[in-house]
A and B are shown apart, each in its own frame.
Chain A
Amino acid sequence: DTAVSQTPKYLVTQMGNDKSIKCEQNLGHDTMYWYKQDSKKFLKIMFSYNNKELIINETVPNRFSPKSPDKAHLNLHINSLELGDSAVYFCASSQDLLAYEQYFGPGTRLTVT
């Protein structure tokens, strides 16, 4: 029973393309997040949503657009992909905004060539 799932697991694409990563959680949580892990393994938050409302937008280029159709889903769309976008993207969820444990998905490894 996968708690937080992401698709696809791997994504290889060329510069300039547009791609989406999907995330779903079946934990009944109200809050979802996107994190980026760079090549040096550093993890940093990109966005968070609470009850489909954007809460955190961490100075991410506007080529990145998150969308939350409902509380269980948070998708990440990336326009005009650049080489520097290559990274592992993790989705996470928590019960609510404040002081709750966050659970992470398996990650999506994006490679831009």
Chain B
Amino acid sequence: GIQVEQSPPDLILQEGANSTLRCNFSDSVNNLQWFHQNPWGQLINLFYIPSGTKQNGRLSATTVATERYSLLYISSSQTTDSGVYFCAVAPNFGNEKLTFGTGTRLTIIP
């Protein structure tokens, strides 16, 4: 099946810092989503981005489908950004199940 690798596994930053999270995948995809799992366990949709670039406030994401990676940018980090960020993909010719990466744990220190 498709492989999904996220880096870095852990990231600790001061409030106000910027960060870039990476997701590499092993096959062409027709679905790529970024999620934030907050400290209460909720999975919050950030972006649906199988290709291209999107922005939502302080967050933006870029997927370069031909090179099989996606980047999530967080600018001016806030403590509420803490949690685990997951990338999930579904392959072009699969059965549409999302395969999740192992996540990046982000901790923002006040």
Partner-B contacts on A (CB < 8 A): 31, 33, 35, 41-45, 48, 55-56, 58, 88, 90, 94, 97-104, 106-107, 109
Contact = CB atoms under 8 A, between A and B. Distances in A.
A99 B33 contact: no
Contacts, number: 57
Query: Per DSSP, are chain A's interface residues mostly helix, strand or loop, or mixed?
Result: strand
12 contacts: A31-B96, A33-B97, A41-B103, A43-B86, A45-B99, A90-B43, A97-B95, A99-B90, A99-B96, A101-B31, A101-B33, A101-B48
Interface in B5-51: 30-31, 33, 35, 37, 41-43, 45, 48, 50
A100 B45 CA distance: 13
A109 B42 CA distance: 11
A45 B43 CA distance: 14
Among B37, B43, B88, the most chain A Cβ lie within 10 Å of the Cβ of B43
Contacts of B97: 33, 45, 48, 56, 58
Interface of B is mostly: strand
Interface of B: 30-31, 33, 35, 37, 41-43, 45, 48, 50, 84, 86, 88, 90, 95-100, 102-103
Contacts of B50: 99
Contacts of B37: 41
A99 B31 contact: yes
A88 B102 CA distance: 15
A56 B95 contact: yes
A102 B31 CA distance: 9
A107 B41 contact: yes
Contacts of B98: 33, 35, 45, 102
Contacts of A97: 95-96
Contacts of B33: 101-102
Contacts of B88: 43, 102
